Amino acid sequence: MDTNLYTIKKHNGGFTIILSNSDHPLFKAHFEGNPILPGFIFLHICEKATGDKIAEVIKSKFITFAKPNDIFELSVTQKDETFYAVFERDGKKICMITYKIFKG
């Protein structure tokens, strides 16, 4: 994955994600004239931010689109062996993912 697509900044409460501008090739392809971040990239961001490898997605919910130049927050919590990732922009949820990681 092209790391120029986004920047991850870690802070005490989680992570800030900054998306690149619409000139990025992924945004030009998905979708021309209406660029949005593909849903699977949220999984990739979770892995890169936490350093974990996702083994199983239990549930995902995409509430609204992420667009070029967006800045949003990622918080990840854990209960037992299940992880809960919440992406928020301006205090509103844009994506939620429940998953398990590879043990190892």
What local confidence, expressed as pLDDT, does residue 32 receive? Answer: 80
Tell me the three-class secondary structure of the chain, residue by residue. CCHHHEEEEEECCEEEEEECCCCCHHHHHCCCCCCCCCHHHHHHHHHHHHCCCEEEEEEEEECCCCCCCCEEEEEEEEECCEEEEEEEECCEEEEEEEEEECCC
pLDDT in tens, 19-32: 999 999 999 888 88
**% of the chain with per-residue pLDDT over 90:** 83
pLDDT in tens, 31-79: 888 999 999 999 999 999 999 999 999 999 999 999 999 999 999 999 9
The CATH number of whichever domain residue 16 belongs to comes to 3.10.129.10
- Total of domains in the chain: 1
Show the domain range for 57: 3-101
What local confidence, expressed as pLDDT, does residue 2 receive? Answer: 54
